[in-house]
A and B are shown apart, each in its own frame.
Chain A
Amino acid sequence: MSLPKIEVRIPTILRPYTNNQKIVSVEALTLADLVSELEKNYSGLGERLLENGELRRFINIYINDEDVRFIGSLTATLQAGDSVTILPAVAGGC
């Protein structure tokens, strides 16, 4: 059985890792697999998404319309045709 192919949208700040491609595609069954596939194909990118093995606080990742934090974070599962969007949080404060 082949792994589902997932389209991943890359934010501006991370495009230096993907030769400025806005959308890349990888094969993965879970978000954890997807992150390690990204790291394998675009060295350094996966690392930018993780901190101590968890998703970084200031990176938001969505599967279709769902923030992955509400659907299992790295254990969230993927299906063929899913679209993953990575966005830096817009946040700050004094």
Chain B
Amino acid sequence: MTLRISREFVNAILEQSRSEYPNECCGVILGPEGSDLPQELKLMANAAQSPTFYEFDSKALLALYREIDDNSQELVVVYHSHTETQAYPSRTDISYASEPNAHYVIVSTRKEIAPENEFRSYRIIDGAVTEEEVEIIST
């Protein structure tokens, strides 16, 4: 599996991770159902406002799923940042991962790798993590 994503979205997510630091940032990229094409970036607020946890606000989550349903879309990418650790799914990330069709993207803002933030993508299915390639497309 490979995640193909535009340079514009990658930059926007990295920018969001820096601007919300020291908290984790989060969001999704929507695409047509079954297409696997990340087309519509949606920055979400981290309701937990924490450097070690993120959670979509419950009302925002419901609104998001209704929009997806109405437009026959799906969550192609679900992303968040790790502030001081590597961009690899934590035990918490794995236990919460519940979209078997989504690419789970994690970026890291840890200082030793700044300003070239890590940007990595995974499939997380039934607790099993598989890293995948990220192909960045210039637009």
- B-contact bits for A41-77, CB 8 A (1 contact / 0 none): 0000000000000000010101001010100000000
Minimum CB–CB distance from B111 to chain A (whole Å) comes to 14
Say if the beta carbon of A1 comes within 8 Å of chain B: no
Residues of B within 8 A of A69 (CB): 58
Could you tell me the distance between the alpha carbons of A87 and B78 in the complex, rounded to whole angstroms? 15
The reply to whether B65 and A91 contact each other, CB–CB distance below 8 Å, is no
- A-contact bits for B79-99, CB 8 A (1 contact / 0 none): 010111100011011011111
Q: Knowing A12-B99, A12-B101, A85-B65, say if A90 contacts B26 (CB, 8 Å).
A: yes
Task: Say whether chain B's binding surface is mostly helix, strand, loop, or mixed.
Answer: mixed
Number of residues on chain A facing chain B (CB within 8 A): 18
The reply to whether A93 and B65 contact each other, CB–CB distance below 8 Å, is no
Q: Knowing A13-B98, A13-B99, say if A90 contacts B83 (CB, 8 Å).
A: no
Closest A residue to B95 by CB, please name it.
Answer: A58
Task: Say whether chain A's binding surface is mostly helix, strand, loop, or mixed.
Answer: mixed
Say if the beta carbon of B21 comes within 8 Å of chain A: no
Provide a sorted-by-A list of 24 A–B residue pairs whose CB atoms are within 8 angstroms.
Answer: A12-B100, A12-B101, A13-B98, A13-B99, A13-B100, A58-B95, A85-B65, A87-B62, A89-B55, A90-B26, A90-B28, A90-B61, A90-B96, A91-B48, A91-B54, A91-B55, A91-B56, A92-B53, A92-B54, A92-B90, A92-B92, A93-B24, A94-B52, A94-B90
Chain B residues at the A interface, C-beta cutoff of 8 Å:
24, 26, 28, 44, 48, 50, 52-56, 58-59, 61-62, 65, 78, 80, 82-85, 89-90, 92-93, 95-101
Chain A residues at the B interface, C-beta cutoff of 8 Å:
11-13, 58, 60, 62, 65, 67, 69, 85, 87-94
